[in-house]
């Protein structure tokens, strides 16, 4: 949001018993067209449950006993990353947030 100019002024005539005077600020709010694309899994949806079950099944089929070197750890982490990415793109819903 761009701010062109903020106008303010002090109203000493509105001061009551305290020594404080009200500060009046004018903020100009312009209308903006907001359009944001998000990818989500709806809370408590069937797709979310299926996504989590698929991830659980995929992780249970991986062989974690082969972690004997840095390269095997890298390979396993890549496999886990691909697993999450594949199921995410399968079950997500694309939504558009607008004003």
Q: Where are the domains of the chain?
A: 7-98
* pTM reported for the whole predicted model: 0.57
CB 23 within 8 A of CB 7: no
Positions in the chain whose pLDDT score sits under 50 = 1
The encoded tokens of residue 99 equal 């004003």
pLDDT for res 4: 60
Q: Which of 75, 55, 51, 81 is nearest to 63 (CA)?
A: 75
pLDDT for res 85: 95
pLDDT for res 2: 52
């Amino acid at each position: 949001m761009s701010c062109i100019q903020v106008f303010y002024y002090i109203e000493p005539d509105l001061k009551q018993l305290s020594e404080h005077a009200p500060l009046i600020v004018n903020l100009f709010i312009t209308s903006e067209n907001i359009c944001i694309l998000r990818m989500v899994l709806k809370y408590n949806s069937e797709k979310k449950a299926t996504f989590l079950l698929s991830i659980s099944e995929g992780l249970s089929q991986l062989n974690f006993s082969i972690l004997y070197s840095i390269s095997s750890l890298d390979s396993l982490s890549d496999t886990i990353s691909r697993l999450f990415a594949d199921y995410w793109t399968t079950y997500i819903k694309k939504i558009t947030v607008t004003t």
